[in-house]
Amino acid sequence: MCFNPKAYSQTESVPKDFVNPSTFSDLTLTSPNGGEFWQVGKIPSISWESNNLSNDVTLEYSIDDGSTWTNIATVSNVTSSYAWSVPNDVSKAGLVRVTSGTLTDASDSVFEISDDDSTCNIVVIGSSTAEGLGASTIENSWVYKYNEALFQKNTMLNVVNLGLGGLTTYDLLPTESSTVLPPGVTIKTDRNITKALSYNPIAIILNLPSNDTYNGYSTSTQLTNFAEINSEATNSSVPIWITTTQPRYFSELADVQTQIDVRDAILNTYTDKALDFWTDIAENDGTILSNLNSGDGTHVNDVGHGILLDKVMVENIEDLTSVGDPLNDDRAIGGKRVY
């Protein structure tokens, strides 16, 4: 391409309002940014985004909507988060502020600091995907990130992960189930629906992608077992979300069809309590999309785990109520009424 020097005079080469990205500085608080419910003694993260800071970052909090501020810490300008042990300063008008030199940003709206020490458990039961296989590290798995995301919003929320590779619907049946088990199979009483209910959860998520089909269990067998697990939860007045099957490499087309049939049955049977872990993950042939395959044909990678996380997050399961008498308890958590 020819270069015309006349088109690039000194006075016209750079717009007057141009800011060189390499020298532009900014600082934005991302959490807490309003509406959070943080309990005294818990350790959520204060987080922020920044570019080209010259000074360290000072962290402060207010319990009177910004009228006064108390120092938390001063940290390096190359960090982006700080694990904060929430102080015993109960308030519904909390704010956090970050400052570096002349740059400063505070929570967009107030959050609550509470001395309520209650815990609301969400229990995940399932197999290897729930356990975290396929992700490069456990921190990139969907259940780990789910727990992290909920805790940042509301430290009362806690995700208990009972997932373990290789488990099937038989393994997760109620401890006292009368169902005849296949030879060599035992109900895993430390991982099953009964164990999940022992945590007095506000909800349960069941994630069994493909092991039943891999072990040769028919569509009807899988659905019968799912129904028994579901009934055990609903009889205890605990809502349960059931994920569909997930794509996986099978050499036999009949196995692929079983996966599809179970997927469709779960979606049709459990409707608003079904989580579609197939769409956006699967190729037309029932295998995992190449860009989401961890490499073994069975488990999704970090990006795939992120997609599964998004599918769970949109259900807003954490909005379920948990503690006390629903007729007389007027407490609210992060703007949500809790029971």
The model's pLDDT over 172-225, given as tens digits with 9 standing for 90+, comes to: 999 999 999 999 999 999 999 999 999 999 999 999 999 999 999 999 999 999
Residue 147 has pLDDT above 80, yes or no: yes
Q: Give the integer Cα–Cα distance in Å for 274 and 283.
A: 20
**Per-residue pLDDT reduced to its tens digit, 173-185:** 999 999 999 999 9
Q: What is the mean pLDDT of the chain?
A: 91
**Per-residue pLDDT reduced to its tens digit, 19-51:** 555 568 999 999 999 999 999 999 999 999 999
The domains spanning 26-114 and 120-318 adopt the same CATH topology: no
**Per-residue pLDDT reduced to its tens digit, 267-313:** 999 999 999 999 999 999 999 999 999 999 999 999 999 999 999 99
> Does the domain formed by 26-114 have CATH 3.40.190.10?
no
Residue 156 has pLDDT above 60, yes or no: yes
For the chain, count helices (H), then strands (E). 7, 16
E-assigned strand segments in the chain: 26-31, 37-39, 45-51, 57-62, 70-75, 81-83, 91-100, 103-106, 111-114, 120-126, 157-161, 203-207, 240-243, 274-275, 332-333, 336-337
Question: What's the confidence (pLDDT) of residue 17?
Answer: 54
Alpha carbon distances (Å) from 152 to 27, 134, 164, 215, 225:
20, 25, 25, 39, 35
Which residues, 6 or more positions from 278, have their beta carbon under 8 angstroms from its beta carbon? 244, 245, 246, 247, 263
Domain residue limits, the chain: 26-114, 120-318
Exposed/middle/buried for residue 303 (C-beta within 10 Å: 0-12, 13-18, 19+): middle
Among residues 287, 312, 290, the alpha carbon closest in space to that of 301 is found at 290
Q: Give the integer Cα–Cα distance in Å for 215 and 250.
A: 12
Exposed/middle/buried for residue 145 (C-beta within 10 Å: 0-12, 13-18, 19+): buried
Note whether 178 and 134 are within 8 A (CB): no
Q: 3-state DSSP call for residue 146?
A: helix
Q: Using pLDDT thresholds of 50, 70 and 90, give the confidence band for residue 320.
A: confident
pTM here is 0.87
Q: Give the integer Cα–Cα distance in Å for 83 and 303.
A: 26
Angle between helix axes 219-235 and 253-270 (nearest 10 degrees) is 30
Alpha carbon distances (Å) from 149 to 171, 200, 332:
29, 21, 19
Alpha carbon distances (Å) from 85 to 45, 46, 110:
9, 10, 18
Q: 3-state DSSP call for residue 19?
A: coil
Q: Encoding tokens for residue 303?
A: 């990006």
Enter the DSSP assignment of 71. E
Return the number of other C-beta atoms located less than 10 Å from residue 77's C-beta: 17
The fold of the 120-318 domain, in CATH, is Rossmann fold (3.40.50)
